[in-house]
Each structure stands twice: as structure tokens, then as C-alpha cells.
Amino acid sequence: MIVKLKPGASERQINQLIHWIENQGMSVNFSKGENTTILGLIGDTAKVDDSLIRALDIVETVMRIQEPYKKVNRKFHPEDTIITLENGVQIGGGHFAIMAGPCSVESEEQVIETAKAVKASGATVLRGGAFKPRTSPYSFQGMGAEGISLLLKAKEVTGLPIVSEIMEPQQLKYFEHVDIIQVGARNMQNFELLKVLGVVDKPILLKRGLSATYEELLMSAEYIMAGGNKDVMLCERGIRTFETATRNTLDITAVPFLKERTHLPIIVDPSHSAGMYQMVRPLSLAATAAGVDGLIIEVHNDPANALCDGPQSLKPKSFDSTAKAIFKLREIMKDI
Ligand code: PEP
Ligand code: MN
């Protein structure tokens, strides 16, 4: 980190600042030119709040030369992280996975029927929400613990590992047999939840917040990894833009950008990205072409009567043709 001081900074003020920095466990490289004084901070600057330094009267600019995230940073971990689920399914480092299933678990019949269908089409993880973050308090809030039990039944019947969303730490007791814990977009910066998931021995699927920058997403993953949990996947699920014709805007740039910055697997959710089932196939193909490690797609056996996100859910038949196209594109990509 480089701190450029204003020309009028007194020796006493500069020494005070140097002292403060050294007290935080770093050393300072002091450089005084004719018109500028620069302090170079050496050491672990990740824990330094640069806005505190920037706010000082004598400081002109603060420049980070190293990203504030360490554990998720590819610079310190060049190899791709590969996540291995209990039944051997792998995600990352060339291993591609399609997670599919309903937005919300609604009944035993719905989740098992959908699970069988997505498995037959090549999905290797079953998705399903039991605890649902809904914009309106009057909308269906999910089946809660009973929804998790039904997902576990579907896992038993099909052998598919399951991914489901957690909304607060107290719900962790229901996730003992859930294979991947999802943190939804609205909770990406629920730091207390992230800290709890940092000490859990399970993969986490961390979704990007509606208006979160790449760095904020990476810092949220850093929260989880700082607790010791190494198995984190990042999910681009569309962001808020000025466009109102679609539910969100899929930021495809996130895929190559994040893959360059981090070794963690990158997943795309084409369903929440556009909010329209018609967009799911093209967006899935675009994400695949961009080099994503996996997709999470909403599939419902009867979208017209779904209790949540019906308009963006594929019917099993369209999911089947979409999955076929995705696998075909992956084959073609081997040669390019
Ligand atoms: C979901 O996966 O059903 C969901 C609520 O997603 P997001 O958090 O991305 O809105
Ligand atoms: Mn949904």
C-alpha cells in the first residue's frame, strides 16, 4: 500500500502516522522527494482499513498495490480449487457441473419428479430452496425444515447431492445432510452468517449480491475462507442495471474476470439472471462459452403453478434439450 502525503505535512504528523502503521504490525518505507512524501507500507496490509488513512488531513491519496483478499487470491494459490462432494462429484479445475431443480421445494411429488428428470438429463446436483428470501412477506416463504426433509428424500431416491439456501445461522442444524450450502444474493454481505459458514465442513455456494462489485464478492468469500473453510464457489446470478426489461442483467464479464483473480470455481445462474425461461438456454450457452465451472438452473415439473419463480423455470423437456446443447458446446470447446 502506498500513502502519498500532502506537501504541508509536518514532521510530527508524519511520525505519528508512521508510529500508528508500525503499531499495526507493518514496516514503513519512507521516501521524501522535493515536493512529495511517500510512505510505502510493507507487510500484511489486508487488515488495514485504508479509509482511515485516507481520512487524515495530511494524506493526499492511498493506493493499494495488493488486493485485500489473500485466501481467495489466485496469486497465492495458482491451482484451481476442485470441490469434491460426498458422492464423488467434482466441481472446478475442468470439472463441470449442472445443478438443477425447483426454485422452492413444494411437495414430495414435485421435488422427486423434478429430481428424476434433471438427473436423467445430466444434472449432477439437485437444487431446491426450503428457506426462501422473498421480497414480499405475503409470498410463499418456503417449506422450511420440512422442505429440507423432502430434498433429502429426493437425494435418497436419485443419489443426487443437494444444494439449498441458508438464511441465518440458527438454520444450520437442518443442513447436516445437505451437500452444498447456498448463500443467496441478499445475504452475500451477512458477515455473521459468513463467519459461521467459515467453520463449517461443507462447500458453500456464494451468490453475488444484487449490486455487489467483484471485490465485494471476493471479500465475502474471504470471510468464509478466513474461518478455515476452503470449499467456496462463487455464483454470478445477474446484477441490477438500468435495464428493466429483464429481472437482472447477466454480467458475463464476471466469469473470465473472477477466474483470473481467484482459484475458486465460478458458477452462473441463468435463471435469476433474466427471470425469463426463454433466456435460460442462450445465457447458459454464453456462460459455458465464457468458461464457467458450472450452472445452476431452475427446473419445475409444472412452472405455470409454481409457488416461486415459475416464469424463469424450465420444464424438464426444455431442460433436457438445454443440457444437451451445453454438453455439446463443451465438447466443441475442447478443440478451441
Ligand atoms: C434462489 O436461488 O432461488 C435465489 C433466491 O437466488 P438469489 O439469491 O440469487 O436471488
Ligand atoms: Mn428462485
Ligand nearest to the CA of 206: 1
- The residue whose CA has the least distance to atom 6 of ligand 1 is 184
Q: Which ligand 1 atom sits nearest the alpha carbon of residue 133?
A: 5
Question: Which ligand sits nearest to residue 132's alpha carbon?
Answer: 1
Residue 15 and residue 71 in contact, taking contact as beta carbons nearer than 8 Å: no
Sorted by sequence, the CB contacts under 8 Å of residue 94 that are 6+ apart come out as 80
297 C-beta closer than 6 A to ligand 1: no
Q: Give me the pLDDT at residue 44, please.
A: 83
CB-CB contact of 279 with 246 (8 Å): yes
Query: What distance in Å separates the CA atoms of residue 262 and residue 189, rounded to the nearest whole number?
Result: 19
Instruction: Compute the distance from residue 308 Cα to the ligand 2 centre, in Å.
Output: 6
Residue bearing the CA closest to ligand 1, atom 9: 185
Protein residues with C-beta less than 5 angstroms from the ion ligand 2: 103, 309
The Cα–Cα gap between 267 and 99 comes to: 10
C-alpha of residue 22 to centroid of ligand 2, in Å: 48
pLDDT at 1: 87
184 Cα nearest atom in ligand 1:
8
Q: For residue range 23-77, what is the model confidence (pLDDT) as tens digits?
A: 988 888 888 877 788 898 888 888 888 899 999 999 999 988 778 898 999 988 9
Question: If the chain, 336 residues long, is cut into consecutive pieces of 10 residues, what is the mean pLDDT of each piece?
Answer: 90 94 88 84 84 94 87 92 95 98 98 98 98 96 98 98 98 98 98 98 98 98 97 98 98 98 98 98 98 98 97 98 98 94
How far is Cα of residue 117 from the mean position of the Cα atoms in its chain?
26
Q: Which helix (H) or strand (E) holds 48?
A: none
64, 49 in Cβ contact below 8 A?
no
Ligand 2 centroid to residue 192 C-alpha, Å: 23
- Determine the Cα–Cα distance for residues 177 and 175; give it in Å rounded to an integer: 6
Residues whose CB is less than 8 angstroms from the CB of residue 274 and which lie 6 or more positions away in sequence, other chains included: 238, 246, 247, 248, 250, 280, 283, 312
Verify whether ligand 1 is closer than 6 Å to residue 101 (CB atom).
no
| Sign of the torsion formed by the C-alpha atoms of 259, 220, 312 and 160 | positive
Q: Report which ligand 1 atom has the smallest distance to the Cα of 296.
A: 2
Whole-prediction pTM value?
0.89
Query: Is residue 247 in contact with ligand 1, taking CB distance under 6 Å?
Result: no
**What three-state secondary structure class fits 229?**
coil
Cell 505519528 sits on residue: 16
- pLDDT score at 144: 98
pLDDT of residue 245: 98
C-alpha cell read off for 109: 411429488
Give residue 31's pLDDT.
84
Q: In 55-138, which residue ranges form alpha helices assigned H by DSSP? A: 108-120
Is 155 close to ligand 1, i.e. is its CB under 6 Å away? no
Cβ of 184 below 6 Å from ligand 1: yes
Q: Is 103 in the pocket of ligand 1 (CB under 6 A)?
A: yes
pLDDT at site 91: 98
DSSP character at residue 161: -
